[in-house]
Structures are given as C-alpha cells and as structure tokens.
C-alpha cells in the first residue's frame, strides 16, 4: 500500500465566499499549504533541502465533491501518482469532518531558479518520493 503524507490545514475566514463555503480558488491554497509541508518541512526532516530551491507547478486538476464550511482544519492526504525524470504528479484528497470533499492533482517540476530552467530530480529526491509512489493495482 502506498504511504500517504497527511497534513491538517486550517480553514481561515478569508477562505470563505459569499455563500459561506470555502471559495473554489482557495481549495488550491489549502492544497498548496499541504504540499509545502510535504516538500519543505517533511523533506527537510529527511535531510533534503533541494525542493526548497525550486519547484514550479506545470498543471493543476481539481474535482469539487462537496462544499467545505468554516470550522475545523481540513485533512489533506497526498501521494505521488506519477514519477518521471524531470516531473512528478502529486495526488491529493481533502477531507472535511472525515468526509471526502475534493480530489486534486498537481504536476510539479523541479526548477533551477538561479539558471531559470527545469531540472531533473536528484537521486535523493527520488528516494524521498518513492515511499509515496502509488503502486498500480
């Protein structure tokens, strides 16, 4: 079974829309906070700081399954659904009060900010991602 990185993300009052639910664009912000926790904080705990030097998003995909209201933090579970030489796809599920509220994917590209171009994943980065890599059924 694939390991998942789990992070609780607070829902802020500013995330709300006129209907009293989390605004659709703010879902990406909640996913971003969880992704930052995985690739900056989580990776740093494994002695890996290279993700902090640059990751850009090439694509987002999101499915909204139910509204999320203001209240307790949402739980975001993440795993890697595709791992390539110079890109990887993060898949997410967001739970509100234990109920699945959204699914999403982000294609992430390691990026050399100093040189201004994409780069390949290092062996250490691939090793960090490997436990989270989805194994096809």
User: What is the reported pLDDT for 75?
Assistant: 98
In angstroms, the CA 113 to CA 133 distance is 26
Q: Which residue has the tokens 């640059």?
A: 54
Domain boundaries, the chain: 5-132
pLDDT at 44 over 70: yes
Least confident of 9-13, 59-63, 82-86: 9-13
Q: Which residue has the tokens 């982000």?
A: 106
In angstroms, the CA 122 to CA 49 distance is 12
pLDDT at 55 over 80: yes
In angstroms, the CA 61 to CA 59 distance is 7
User: What is the reported pLDDT for 137?
Assistant: 65
Would the pTM of this model clear 0.85, i.e. be above it?
A: yes
pLDDT at 1 over 90: no
What number does CATH give the domain 5-132?
3.10.129.10
User: What is the reported pLDDT for 70?
Assistant: 84
Q: With bands split at pLDDT 50, 70 and 90, how would you rate the model's confidence at 22?
A: confident
Please report how many Cα atoms fall inside a 13 Å half-sphere around the Cα of residue 47, on the Cβ side. 2
User: What is the reported pLDDT for 125?
Assistant: 95
- Dihedral in degrees, nearest 10, Cα atoms 97, 101, 105, 108: -40
């Amino acid at each position: 079974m694939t390991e998942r990185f789990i992070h609780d993300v607070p829902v802020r009052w500013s995330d709300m829309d006129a209907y009293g639910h989390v605004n659709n664009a703010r879902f990406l912000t909640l996913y971003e906070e969880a992704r930052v926790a995985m690739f900056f904080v989580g990776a740093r705990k494994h002695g890996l700081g290279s993700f902090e030097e640059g990751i850009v998003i090439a694509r987002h995909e999101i499915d909204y399954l139910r509204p999320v209201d203001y209240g307790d933090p949402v739980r975001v579970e993440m795993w890697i659904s595709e791992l390539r030489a110079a890109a990887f796809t993060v898949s997410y599920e967001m739970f509100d009060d234990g109920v699945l509220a959204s699914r999403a994917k982000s294609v992430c590209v390691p990026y050399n900010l100093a040189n201004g171009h994409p780069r390949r994943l290092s062996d250490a980065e691939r090793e960090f991602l490997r436990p989270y890599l989805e194994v096809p059924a």
